[in-house]
Structure 1
Amino acid sequence: MQSLGPIAGAHPSTTQVAFQRTELGVILSLYGRMVAAGEWRDYGISCLREVAVFSIFRRTAEHPLYRIEKRPKLQGKQGQYAVIGMDGQVLKRGHDLKTVLRVLERKLIRAVE
């Protein structure tokens, strides 16, 4: 039997970008509050070569309402964290995850009122 070898296009030294435990704690805290408010219902996490994405859904079969992205290559520039809306528009970008997520917390305040 022949070995298929590495996946096409994959480099053995290439690592994936992922959210750290503390980052996930911050994101999941907001996610839990939004689920409790009835705004969000599902999420998905993708760890790719240049970006980690936390996608937020109202219903499972839809496109994500929001994407929280981590791009370490932008850390020295406009910031490695971004919240992106359904239409692809960057709603907030920055260096601090909690600060970037405030754009979504405002929506929680409106949902609870």
Structure 2
Amino acid sequence: MVQNKENRTRPIAKKVRFSEAEFDYLNKKIERSPFNNFQNYARILLITGEVKMVDYSELQRLNLEINRIGNNINQMTKLAHQFKEISEADVHELTAQLQSIKQMISERFKEELKQERLV
């Protein structure tokens, strides 16, 4: 659906020309950015002076680990309900896994804070 110029939230358009090499370079930068098109990338870059690149691979790894630990906890809980008891070893293992989750999250937040201070 094409909107009339007066109905757009951003009615002012600017035209930019690039060489082939510049255009290829720019497209590679856009692909690595969190933006899916030139307009969004250029607008943020021009307004803020930078495009922050955030690497979510570490958070994805942390999420995967937390999911695995959660699965283990669910399995132990199921067994505890099934047998109407839970062993001391199971309690210690659950406690250790919960501590592991807390430590991973704490370390990740500390890393994020350090990175934010450097920017």
TM-score by length of 2: 0.26
Query: Which protein shows a greater Rg?
Result: 2
Q: TM-score, normalised by structure 1?
A: 0.27
Counting strand residues as a fraction of each chain, which structure ranks higher? 1
Structure having the larger proportion of residues in helix: 2
